[in-house]
Amino acid sequence: DGGITQSPKYLFRKEGQNVTLSCEQNLNHDAMYWYRQDPGQGLRLIYYSQIVNDFQKGDIAEGYSVSREKKESFPLTVTSAQKNPTAFYLCASSITIQGENEQYFGPGTRLTVT
Amino acid sequence: AQSVTQLGSHVSVSEGALVLLRCNYSSSVPPYLFWYVQYPNQGLQLLLKYTSAATLVKGINGFEAEFKKSETSFHLTKPSAHMSDAAEYFCAVSEGIGGSYIPTFGRGTSLIVHP
Protein backbone atom coordinates (compact mmCIF):
# COMPACT_ATOMS: atom_id res chain seq x y z
CA ASP A 1 0.00 0.00 0.00
CA GLY A 2 1.24 3.44 -0.88
CA GLY A 3 1.33 6.07 1.78
CA ILE A 4 3.26 8.24 4.17
CA THR A 5 4.88 6.91 7.31
CA GLN A 6 6.04 8.94 10.27
CA SER A 7 8.02 7.53 13.09
CA PRO A 8 7.88 7.33 15.96
CA LYS A 9 4.23 7.98 16.90
CA TYR A 10 5.24 9.42 20.28
CA LEU A 11 8.59 10.97 21.13
CA PHE A 12 9.88 12.29 24.44
CA ARG A 13 12.99 14.41 24.83
CA LYS A 14 14.71 16.51 27.42
CA GLU A 15 15.01 20.23 26.89
CA GLY A 16 18.21 21.19 25.09
CA GLN A 17 18.39 18.06 22.95
CA ASN A 18 17.98 18.02 19.20
CA VAL A 19 15.53 15.46 17.89
CA THR A 20 14.84 14.21 14.34
CA LEU A 21 11.40 13.20 13.14
CA SER A 22 11.19 10.76 10.26
CA CYS A 23 8.90 11.07 7.21
CA GLU A 24 8.93 8.59 4.34
CA GLN A 25 6.58 8.33 1.35
CA ASN A 26 6.27 5.74 -1.39
CA LEU A 27 3.74 7.69 -3.45
CA ASN A 28 6.38 9.02 -5.85
CA HIS A 29 5.32 12.56 -4.96
CA ASP A 30 7.66 15.42 -5.74
CA ALA A 31 6.59 17.80 -2.98
CA MET A 32 6.78 17.21 0.75
CA TYR A 33 5.80 19.37 3.70
CA TRP A 34 6.14 19.64 7.47
CA TYR A 35 3.42 21.18 9.61
CA ARG A 36 3.13 21.86 13.29
CA GLN A 37 -0.27 21.55 14.97
CA ASP A 38 -1.17 23.15 18.29
CA PRO A 39 -4.66 23.15 19.82
CA GLY A 40 -6.87 25.83 18.29
CA GLN A 41 -4.23 27.02 15.82
CA GLY A 42 -4.76 24.75 12.87
CA LEU A 43 -1.74 23.70 10.83
CA ARG A 44 1.27 25.94 10.47
CA LEU A 45 3.84 25.31 7.76
CA ILE A 46 7.41 24.75 8.94
CA TYR A 47 9.26 23.76 5.75
CA TYR A 48 8.44 22.42 2.34
CA SER A 49 10.34 20.87 -0.52
CA GLN A 50 9.20 20.74 -4.12
CA ILE A 51 12.15 18.76 -5.43
CA VAL A 52 15.11 16.76 -4.17
CA ASN A 53 17.97 18.83 -2.73
CA ASP A 54 15.80 21.93 -2.46
CA PHE A 55 13.57 23.20 0.33
CA GLN A 56 11.95 26.43 1.44
CA LYS A 57 11.09 27.94 4.80
CA GLY A 58 7.49 28.11 5.78
CA ASP A 59 5.82 30.44 8.25
CA ILE A 60 7.50 29.10 11.41
CA ALA A 61 10.91 27.72 10.35
CA GLU A 62 12.92 29.15 13.23
CA GLY A 63 14.40 26.40 15.40
CA TYR A 64 13.86 23.71 12.78
CA SER A 65 15.96 22.22 9.98
CA VAL A 66 15.27 19.76 7.16
CA SER A 67 17.01 17.86 4.41
CA ARG A 68 15.78 16.32 1.16
CA GLU A 69 18.48 14.01 -0.10
CA LYS A 70 16.02 11.47 -1.49
CA LYS A 71 12.62 11.89 -3.09
CA GLU A 72 11.07 9.51 -0.57
CA SER A 73 12.42 11.07 2.60
CA PHE A 74 12.05 14.47 4.29
CA PRO A 75 13.32 14.35 7.91
CA LEU A 76 12.70 17.24 10.28
CA THR A 77 15.12 18.15 13.05
CA VAL A 78 13.78 20.09 16.01
CA THR A 79 16.76 21.92 17.46
CA SER A 80 17.35 23.24 20.94
CA ALA A 81 16.73 26.72 19.52
CA GLN A 82 13.02 26.00 19.16
CA LYS A 83 11.47 27.62 22.23
CA ASN A 84 8.24 25.61 22.40
CA PRO A 85 8.87 22.30 20.65
CA THR A 86 6.09 20.30 22.29
CA ALA A 87 3.46 19.80 19.57
CA PHE A 88 1.93 17.39 17.07
CA TYR A 89 3.98 17.28 13.85
CA LEU A 90 2.45 16.30 10.54
CA CYS A 91 4.24 15.42 7.34
CA ALA A 92 2.51 15.59 3.96
CA SER A 93 3.29 15.02 0.32
CA SER A 94 1.60 16.10 -2.88
CA ILE A 95 1.63 15.77 -6.62
CA THR A 96 0.25 18.12 -9.24
CA ILE A 97 -1.53 16.60 -12.23
CA GLN A 98 -3.05 18.85 -14.89
CA GLY A 99 -3.12 21.75 -12.47
CA GLU A 100 -4.83 19.82 -9.69
CA ASN A 101 -2.95 19.31 -6.44
CA GLU A 102 -3.92 17.71 -3.15
CA GLN A 103 -1.95 16.78 -0.07
CA TYR A 104 -1.71 13.39 1.57
CA PHE A 105 -0.86 13.32 5.25
CA GLY A 106 1.07 10.96 7.46
CA PRO A 107 -0.26 9.82 10.86
CA GLY A 108 1.79 12.39 12.78
CA THR A 109 4.37 12.37 15.56
CA ARG A 110 3.57 13.80 18.97
CA LEU A 111 6.69 15.34 20.47
CA THR A 112 6.88 16.12 24.15
CA VAL A 113 9.87 18.03 25.50
CA THR A 114 10.33 18.39 29.24
CA ALA B 1 -2.64 36.42 -0.43
CA GLN B 2 -4.95 33.68 0.68
CA SER B 3 -6.66 33.12 4.01
CA VAL B 4 -9.32 30.92 5.55
CA THR B 5 -11.79 31.59 8.33
CA GLN B 6 -13.72 28.83 9.99
CA LEU B 7 -16.58 30.18 12.05
CA GLY B 8 -16.95 28.39 15.36
CA SER B 9 -14.16 26.43 16.98
CA HIS B 10 -16.78 23.94 18.23
CA VAL B 11 -20.07 22.82 16.70
CA SER B 12 -22.41 20.55 18.64
CA VAL B 13 -25.25 18.57 17.03
CA SER B 14 -27.50 15.69 17.95
CA GLU B 15 -27.19 12.38 16.16
CA GLY B 16 -29.37 12.51 13.04
CA ALA B 17 -29.33 16.30 12.83
CA LEU B 18 -27.95 18.42 10.01
CA VAL B 19 -24.25 19.20 10.14
CA LEU B 20 -23.11 22.63 8.90
CA LEU B 21 -19.48 23.70 9.23
CA ARG B 22 -18.68 27.14 7.87
CA CYS B 23 -15.67 28.20 5.86
CA ASN B 24 -14.97 31.55 4.24
CA TYR B 25 -11.86 32.25 2.22
CA SER B 26 -10.02 35.04 0.54
CA SER B 27 -7.96 34.56 -2.57
CA SER B 28 -6.57 36.78 -5.29
CA VAL B 29 -7.15 34.13 -7.97
CA PRO B 30 -9.69 31.33 -8.50
CA PRO B 31 -8.87 29.01 -5.64
CA TYR B 32 -8.69 25.34 -4.96
CA LEU B 33 -10.63 24.53 -1.80
CA PHE B 34 -10.45 21.50 0.46
CA TRP B 35 -12.08 20.01 3.53
CA TYR B 36 -10.09 17.59 5.67
CA VAL B 37 -11.11 15.51 8.69
CA GLN B 38 -8.83 14.60 11.57
CA TYR B 39 -9.56 11.99 14.22
CA PRO B 40 -7.69 12.19 17.55
CA ASN B 41 -3.94 11.65 17.25
CA GLN B 42 -4.16 10.93 13.53
CA GLY B 43 -3.23 12.69 10.32
CA LEU B 44 -5.62 14.58 8.07
CA GLN B 45 -7.83 12.76 5.59
CA LEU B 46 -9.26 14.49 2.54
CA LEU B 47 -13.07 14.71 2.61
CA LEU B 48 -13.57 16.61 -0.62
CA LYS B 49 -12.07 19.26 -2.88
CA TYR B 50 -13.25 21.98 -5.24
CA THR B 51 -11.16 22.52 -8.38
CA SER B 52 -13.45 24.71 -10.56
CA ALA B 53 -15.57 21.92 -12.02
CA ALA B 54 -18.96 21.55 -10.32
CA THR B 55 -19.80 24.05 -7.58
CA LEU B 56 -21.47 21.35 -5.47
CA VAL B 57 -18.85 18.84 -4.45
CA LYS B 58 -19.65 15.46 -2.94
CA GLY B 59 -17.14 13.78 -0.69
CA ILE B 60 -16.71 10.72 1.43
CA ASN B 61 -18.89 9.70 4.38
CA GLY B 62 -21.92 11.56 3.02
CA PHE B 63 -20.40 15.04 3.25
CA GLU B 64 -20.76 17.69 0.58
CA ALA B 65 -19.76 21.32 0.14
CA GLU B 66 -20.92 24.11 -2.12
CA PHE B 67 -18.59 26.71 -3.60
CA LYS B 68 -20.25 30.14 -3.62
CA LYS B 69 -18.00 32.68 -5.28
CA SER B 70 -20.25 35.64 -4.46
CA GLU B 71 -20.08 34.80 -0.77
CA THR B 72 -16.47 33.51 -0.85
CA SER B 73 -17.73 30.50 1.05
CA PHE B 74 -17.24 26.75 0.97
CA HIS B 75 -19.43 25.42 3.78
CA LEU B 76 -19.45 21.71 4.61
CA THR B 77 -22.74 19.91 5.18
CA LYS B 78 -24.12 16.48 5.96
CA PRO B 79 -27.86 15.79 6.20
CA SER B 80 -27.70 13.44 9.17
CA ALA B 81 -24.90 13.30 11.73
CA HIS B 82 -23.51 10.00 12.99
CA MET B 83 -21.59 9.48 16.19
CA SER B 84 -18.59 8.49 14.06
CA ASP B 85 -18.52 11.99 12.52
CA ALA B 86 -17.17 13.44 15.76
CA ALA B 87 -13.75 14.80 14.78
CA GLU B 88 -11.82 17.97 13.88
CA TYR B 89 -12.54 19.45 10.47
CA PHE B 90 -10.21 21.74 8.56
CA CYS B 91 -10.92 23.93 5.56
CA ALA B 92 -7.98 24.84 3.31
CA VAL B 93 -7.40 27.10 0.30
CA SER B 94 -4.66 26.85 -2.29
CA GLU B 95 -3.95 29.29 -5.08
CA GLY B 96 -1.39 27.42 -7.14
CA ILE B 97 0.52 30.54 -8.03
CA GLY B 98 3.68 29.98 -10.03
CA GLY B 99 3.29 26.23 -9.83
CA SER B 100 3.50 26.29 -6.06
CA TYR B 101 0.54 24.80 -4.23
CA ILE B 102 0.99 25.71 -0.61
CA PRO B 103 -2.38 25.54 1.10
CA THR B 104 -3.46 27.76 3.94
CA PHE B 105 -5.49 26.00 6.62
CA GLY B 106 -8.22 27.32 8.85
CA ARG B 107 -7.96 26.89 12.61
CA GLY B 108 -10.33 23.93 12.56
CA THR B 109 -13.81 23.19 13.88
CA SER B 110 -14.39 20.44 16.38
CA LEU B 111 -17.65 18.59 15.64
CA ILE B 112 -19.34 17.12 18.70
CA VAL B 113 -22.19 14.65 18.15
CA HIS B 114 -24.60 13.94 21.01
CA PRO B 115 -26.62 10.72 21.19
Query: What is the pLDDT at residue A3?
Result: 93
d(CA A89, CA A108): 5
Q: What is the pLDDT of residues B35-58, one digit of tens each?
A: 999 998 899 999 999 987 788 999
Q: Which residues neighbour B91 within 8 Å (Cβ) at sequence distance 6 or greater?
A: B4, B6, B21, B23, B25, B33, B34, B35, B74, B76, B105, B106
| Shortest Cα–Cα distance, A80 to chain B (Å) | 25
Q: What is the pLDDT of residues B1-34, one digit of tens each?
A: 788 999 999 999 999 999 999 999 988 777 889 9
Q: Which residues neighbour A46 within 8 Å (Cβ) at sequence distance 6 or greater?
A: A34, A35, A36, A58, A59, A60, A61, A64, A66, A76, A89
Chosen for mutation from B95, B105, B109 (greatest number of chain A CBs closer than 10 Å) is: B105
pLDDT for B97 beyond 90: no
Q: Is B107 helix (H, G, I), strand (E, B) or coil?
A: coil
Conformational region of residue A40, where left means phi above 0, alpha means psi within -120 to 50, and beta covers everything else: left
Residues of chain B with a CB closer than 8 angstroms to some CB in chain A: 9, 32, 34, 36, 41-46, 49, 51, 90, 94, 96, 99-103, 105-108
Q: Which residues neighbour B69 within 8 Å (Cβ) at sequence distance 6 or greater?
A: none
Average pLDDT over residues A37-55: 92
Where does the pLDDT of residue B100 fall: very low under 50, low under 70, confident under 90, or very high at 90 and above?
low
